Structure 1
Amino acid sequence: MEWIAVAKMTVEEVKAKLADLKERITTTKQDSEEFNQAVVELHDLDKVLNIDEMDVIVKNLGRQLTDDEYAALIVASANQEDVFDLFPGIERPADLNSLKK
């Protein structure tokens, strides 16, 4: 799945896609073509995310992201929007690179 394709998806469409992929991954044999395809598709969705931004958000929330939040992050990232706008109480660090150890 290309970045452009993700950018054209709504949050609800991404959420449905994530649910479908999770279902396929958990219910098919790990050595099957369907399992491998689902893993590749999930990885493609994850590729649009900035791991440093996601790390800051999750740490500030103090919990895992909900499915709605995760889908919204994917769509915002694919559309090159500021993902911190989704979480009004969390500010974007001035330099995300300074957070790396």
Structure 2
Amino acid sequence: MQKVPYGNSNLVVTLYFVMKMLPMIISGMCIYLGYKLFVLGVTGEASLSVQSDTISGQLINAAPGLFFAVGGIVALIVSIVRGVQISFDNNGGHVVRVSNIAHG
């Protein structure tokens, strides 16, 4: 991987902050818009079924606002749980590795 000079580490930290905050803002907007759709009484018939080795669930005949809210909540949880590991070289002060990690 290409080494980045230490002076650009502020850029790395800024981009990390932006990439963590942007999904949270979008998720918050989805949750809010889902709430507004639910309160306004927008109706529709939609179903969602999720099955995995560890989790399963069904949402049957749900309002569209509920899908917005649930999608926003899932995206918010994923953006919080995901992490980024930034490694610096001690000798030259270079960023040597930026990688995604999952906590837990």
Instruction: Name the larger-Rg structure.
Output: 2
Answer yes or no: same fold by TM over 0.5: no
Structure with greater proportional helix content: 1
Structure with greater proportional strand content: 2
Relative to the length of structure 2, the TM-score reads 0.32
